[in-house]
A and B are shown apart, each in its own frame.
Chain A
Amino acid sequence: MTIFDELRRYDGFDFPGFLAGVTDAHVARALQKERLTPQDYLALLSPAAARHLEPMAQKARDLTIRHFGRAMVLFTPLYLANHCTNQCVYCGFNTKNRIERRKLTLEEVEAEALAIAATGLKHILILTGEDRKQTPPAYMADCIRVLKRYFTSIAIEVYPLTQEEYALLIEAGADGMTMFQEVYDETVYAELHPKGPKRDYRFRLEAPDRAGRAGMRQLNIGALLGLNSWRTEAFFTGLHADWLQRAYPDAEVAVSPPRMRPHAGGFPPREIVSDAELVQYILAFRLFMPRGGVTLSTRERPGLRDNLLGLGVTRMSAGVCTQVGGRASGQHATGQFEISDPRSVDEMAQALYQRGYQPVYKDWQYL
């Protein structure tokens, strides 16, 4: 059985009916519990639960501090390439967008690595678009081998790979993977991915599973909020995370709750997810999976990020640049999306200290 079969069990489930039927009493019961069922989690994502944000926040903060401490792991993304063969309607790297396409040479990777290493960070996330010809797994492996000299943890956010390909990258030195399913609703997924290999819903959905089987240490997943009803997407993301944690108990499982940002494609979000709704999602997830990681990107603005950090977030990106080669070469190519929090690693660290949190630059040692 895979997550695909697990999600099938909810085919035909009346989500609007369930969400509308949630009462204050159900929310209160879920808040009392130590272990939440999927139904409890869904109840906490309901409109009724929005009236209970404060008690949810108190409990979520308490759980997060007990399990993760007053500490925030920092990392930064490094875009290796922006070549892409897909036409995701919401993305700036969409193959039909006329932007300058680049891919870093190994020398450029090293130059970027030096610039990032100078900030003190030891965790890095490498990204590419989806183009197997331009950026094959072997190219990624080469990049990872260069980066290994500077970083103790290297995660990948690339197109879905086979189990053997994940094993190859682990062998090269990768220890984490991020895969955004974008949308769990299969019909909506088909509409938003009109052309290209990304149309294969199931191959993408099962990618974290293949990575887990290959021995990947960290599995990070997420839905892109704004593409569909956030409540059901958040529910499926949580179910997926829970499923992965059960299937791969020795992996660290985390979710990301990114909201859509402006980009070169200009596709407007179908649903605007408010700050309060984003908070509700993070809190509900924390109560559902007390030990699950929550990664927050610089898509969110500084003030909001600072306020969110006490509510369940365990990892944040900092010193972000979404342009290929943007750090070392000073290039101003179009990024994948616009970031909202341009703070440097130092500035982020100071903000964390001010709120009583310790910035953690290194939380894994490559073995």
Chain B
Amino acid sequence: MADQLVIGGVALESRLFLGSGKYSSNAIIPAIVEASGAQVITVAVRRVDPGAGSENILSHIPRSCRLMPNTSGARNAQEAVRIARLARAAGCGDWIKIEVISDNRHLLPDNQETIEATRILAAEGFIVLPYMSPDLMAAKRMAEAGAAAVMPLGAPIGTNRGFRTRELVAIMIDELDVPVIVDAGIGKPSEACECMELGAAAVLANTAIATAADPVGMARAFAQAVAAGRAAWLAGPGAVSEQARASSPLTGFLHE
């Protein structure tokens, strides 16, 4: 059976999600999508202008890709909800990545407002993927509120600092029933691989690919790294248990 990630009833083969806001030209997006094999791409609703002709970002996104509009720019739950509704009305579909940021210095998400927006939008039938600070309790509340997955940050947006929140995300992966997608801060393919080895369901990359000297080459590298990390995670549990069985337990004598 193929190893698929199912979100909102949609089965995905690729576990690499893309961002779209930082490229030198929207025209490069099809090549990035192809090299990365990504099937999900996030687009800021604030950047979408259906009337803009060739400057309209939506016209550059291949049909093979699922749109995940995001609420970038929203400062509270109400604004996120309004942006989500605008996205749906503009024909962007039902998926919505909630981004609620009320701290422009570090761009850290507001979990409290995000839970609220998740609740409202899930009830309206959206497939909700909240971007969040890695916090188990907040993630549980998002899941209860109807989130289809949760998207904790690996490090603050745009820092390329790597998987700094590893300990907290590991706990989330262990404890949550919804997929955990590491979003933001991942700067190198090896770090994306690390997320996947740990059991993350997927990784979203934007800055790392968009700011690379060769974005298409970097997109390909990320695809390979995410696939390798996933393969390692799938192979990992088996190998670990086999080793445990093969070795003689140190405390076996107690039962003799």
A-side residues, CB < 8 A to B, are 65-71, 120, 122, 152, 217, 245-246, 249-253, 291, 349, 353, 356-365, 367
Contacts of A249 on B, CB cut-off 8 Å? Answer: 102-105
The reply on B47 being an interface residue by CB < 8 A is yes
The reply to whether B102 and A358 contact each other, CB–CB distance below 8 Å, is no
Q: CB within 8 Å of A: which of B102-119?
A: 102-107
Query: Does A65 contact B22, Cβ atoms closer than 8 Å?
Result: yes
B93 on the A face (CB < 8 A): no
Task: Chain B residues near A217: list those with CB within 8 A.
Answer: 75
15 A-B residue pairs with CB within 8 Å? A66-B158, A66-B211, A69-B23, A70-B24, A70-B211, A71-B21, A249-B104, A249-B105, A250-B101, A250-B103, A349-B55, A356-B24, A358-B23, A358-B26, A365-B46
Separation of A245 and B102 alpha carbons in the complex (Å): 11
How far is A10 from B70 in the complex, measured between Cα atoms in Å? Answer: 43
Residues of B within 8 A of A245 (CB): 104-105
Number of interface residues of B (CB under 8 A): 34
Apart from A67-B158, A251-B104, A367-B79, what are 19 other A-B pairs with CB-CB below 8 Å? A65-B22, A66-B160, A66-B211, A68-B22, A70-B23, A71-B24, A120-B52, A120-B55, A122-B49, A246-B105, A249-B105, A250-B104, A291-B107, A358-B23, A359-B55, A361-B52, A364-B46, A365-B48, A367-B83
Q: Indicate whether B45 reaches chain A with its CB closer than 8 angstroms.
A: yes
User: Quick check: A70 and B105 within 8 Å, CB to CB?
Assistant: no
Contact across chains for A66 and B159 when beta carbons are under 8 A apart? yes
Cβ of B174 to closest chain A Cβ, rounded Å: 31
**Cβ-defined contact, B21 with A291, below 8 A:** no
Chain A residues in 8 Å Cβ range of B45: 365
Name the one of B52, B101, B106, B157 contacting A362, with C-beta atoms under 8 angstroms.
Answer: B52
Say whether A358 contacts B46, CB under 8 Å. no
- How many pairs of A and B residues are in contact by the CB < 8 Å rule? 83
Residues of A within 8 A of B73 (CB): 364-365
Rounded to whole Å, the gap between the CB of B59 and the closest CB of chain A is 14
| Chain A residues touching B, majority SS | loop
* A338 → chain B closest CB, angstroms: 30
Say whether B164 faces chain A, with CB atoms less than 8 Å apart. Answer: no
User: What is B's interface to A at a CB cutoff of 8 Å?
Assistant: 21-26, 45-49, 52-53, 55, 73, 75, 79, 82-83, 86, 101-107, 157-160, 207, 210-211
Q: Decide: A358 and B104 in contact? CB cutoff 8 A.
A: no
The reply to whether B107 and A69 form a contact with Cβ atoms under 8 Å apart is no
The answer to whether residues A250 and B75 also contact, given A68-B22, A361-B52 and a CB cut-off of 8 A, is: yes
Q: Which 6 A-B pairs have the closest CB atoms?
A: A69-B22, A70-B24, A250-B102, A250-B75, A362-B49, A356-B24
Q: Which residues of chain B have C-beta atoms less than 8 A from A360's C-beta?
A: 47
**A154 to B237 CA separation, bound complex (whole angstroms):** 55
Instruction: Pick the contact of A367: B49, B55, B82, B210 (CB < 8 A).
Output: B82
Residue of A nearest to B105 (CB): A245
A119 CB, min distance to chain B CBs, angstroms: 11
A361 to B49, CA, bound (A): 9
Closest chain B residue, CB of each to CB of A252: B104
B210–A361 touching, CB < 8 Å: no
Q: Tell me, in angstroms, the Cα distance from A66 to B161 when the chains sit together.
A: 11
**Quick one: closest B residue to A364, CB to CB?**
B46
Measured CB to CB, the closest approach of chain B to A332, in angstroms, equals 31
Chain A nearest Cβ from B41, distance in angstroms: 15
Say yes or no: B55 contacts A71, CB within 8 Å.
no
Q: How far is the CA of A253 from the CA of B24 in the complex (A)?
A: 24
Say whether A362 contacts B46, CB under 8 Å: yes
Across the interface, which residues of B come within 8 angstroms of A359, CB to CB? 55
- Cβ contacts under 8 Å, A364 to chain B: 46, 73
Q: Give the complex CA separation of A291 and B157 in angstroms.
A: 11
Most chain A beta-carbon contacts within 10 A, residue among B22, B86, B160? B22
B103 closest partner in A (C-beta): A249
Chain B nearest CB, measured from A96 CB (Å): 41
Most chain B CB within 10 A, of A68, A70, A356, A361, is at A70
CB-CB nearest in chain A for B187: A66
List B contacts of A365 (CB < 8 A).
Answer: 45-46, 48, 73, 83, 86
How distant is A319 from chain B, measured CB to nearest CB, in Å?
Answer: 15
How far, in Å, is B187 (CB) from chain A's closest CB?
A: 9
Q: How far is the CA of A236 from the CA of B11 in the complex (A)?
A: 54
Q: Once the chains are docked, how many angstroms separate the CA of A69 from the CA of B29? A: 14
